[in-house]
């Protein structure tokens, strides 16, 4: 595996969760839909992963993408689809929660697309007993792409989501790549009773303010900004 350098790539001023929502609203006024933003976010994640592992031309590279039921999970679905273009990847997508709980229309669309791609393995972890399947899936992977919670999260993860985050943090080998923000962290404060301890956080448009607090830095790892197609 390529040596990972912990050097942040930060060009933009950090934003709060409400500021990010306002920025997305301005994008929609231009005609840039949330579906387009999600597509661009997932593509940025896939490109980052491929730049790390694409040199493994003579061996399969196992990637496990772990998604929640919100927009953050939608970004993960798109990233997995883009990576499926490259034959070197063995891909699994783990949905933490029920398919019926995917609430954002953009995420629903991308889950339906993903469900029709046979080469991507799908696991739905919708009960506590199925967390065992999750624990069996991730240890032999080279990297995890993690988007269980996004910037709207507050408080403490519970139930399935808590079990998934604890399972991710237990494994040492895979590179842990968080989507937008470490799942389980509050975007504005950086507070996290239980959050993914990330090697890399690919944050959409700009870093979130909580990621740059002392606690946030411990959980975010290397911070990389992703272009989601907004021209401001």
* CB-CB contact of 124 with 91 (8 Å): no
Q: Is 159 left (phi over 0), alpha (psi -120 to 50) or beta?
A: left
Which of 81, 175, 163, 93 has the alpha carbon at shortest distance from 130? Answer: 163
Q: Is the pLDDT of residue 5 over 70?
A: no
CA angle 130, 221, 155 (to 5 degrees): 55
Report pLDDT for 192.
Answer: 93
Quickly tell me which residue has 């303010």 as its tokens.
Answer: 209
| Alpha-carbon distances, residue 163 vs 4, 132, 218 (angstroms) | 27, 10, 20
Cα–Cα dist 122/77, whole Å: 11
pTM: 0.94
Tens digits of per-residue pLDDT, 90-104? Answer: 999 999 999 999 989
Position with higher pLDDT, 6 vs 204: 204
Map out the domains of the chain with their CATH numbers: 17-24+33-226 (3.40.50.10260)
Residue 36 exposed, middle or buried by CB count within 10 Å (0-12, 13-18, 19+)? middle
Which of 202, 157, 195 has the alpha carbon at shortest distance from 178? Answer: 202
Q: Is the pLDDT of residue 218 over 90?
A: yes
Report pLDDT for 8.
Answer: 83
Which of 229, 170, 174 has the alpha carbon at shortest distance from 199? Answer: 174
Position with higher pLDDT, 42 vs 8: 42
């Amino acid at each position: 595996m390529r040596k990972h350098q912990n050097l942040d790539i930060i060009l933009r001023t950090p934003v709060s969760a409400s500021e990010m929502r306002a920025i997305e609203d301005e994008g929609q006024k231009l005609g840039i839909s949330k579906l387009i933003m999600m597509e661009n976010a997932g593509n940025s994640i896939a490109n980052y992963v491929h730049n790390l592992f694409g040199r493994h031309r003579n061996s399969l590279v196992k990637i496990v993408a772990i998604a929640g039921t919100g927009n953050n999970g939608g970004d993960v679905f798109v990233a997995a689809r883009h990576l499926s273009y490259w034959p070197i990847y063995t891909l699994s997508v783990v949905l933490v929660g029920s398919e019926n709980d995917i609430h954002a229309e953009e995420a629903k669309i991308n889950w339906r697309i993903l469900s029709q791609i046979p080469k991507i393995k799908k696991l739905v972890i919708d009960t506590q007993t199925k967390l065992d399947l999750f624990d069996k899936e991730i240890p032999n992977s080279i990297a995890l792409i993690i988007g269980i919670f996004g910037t709207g999260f507050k408080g403490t993860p519970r139930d399935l989501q808590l079990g998934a985050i604890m399972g991710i943090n237990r494994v040492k080998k895979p590179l842990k790549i968080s989507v937008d923000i470490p799942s389980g962290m509050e975007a504005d404060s950086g507070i996290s009773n239980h959050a993914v301890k990330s090697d890399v956080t690919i944050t959409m448009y700009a870093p979130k303010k909580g990621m740059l607090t002392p606690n946030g830095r411990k959980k975010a790892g290397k911070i990389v900004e992703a272009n989601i197609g907004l021209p401001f």
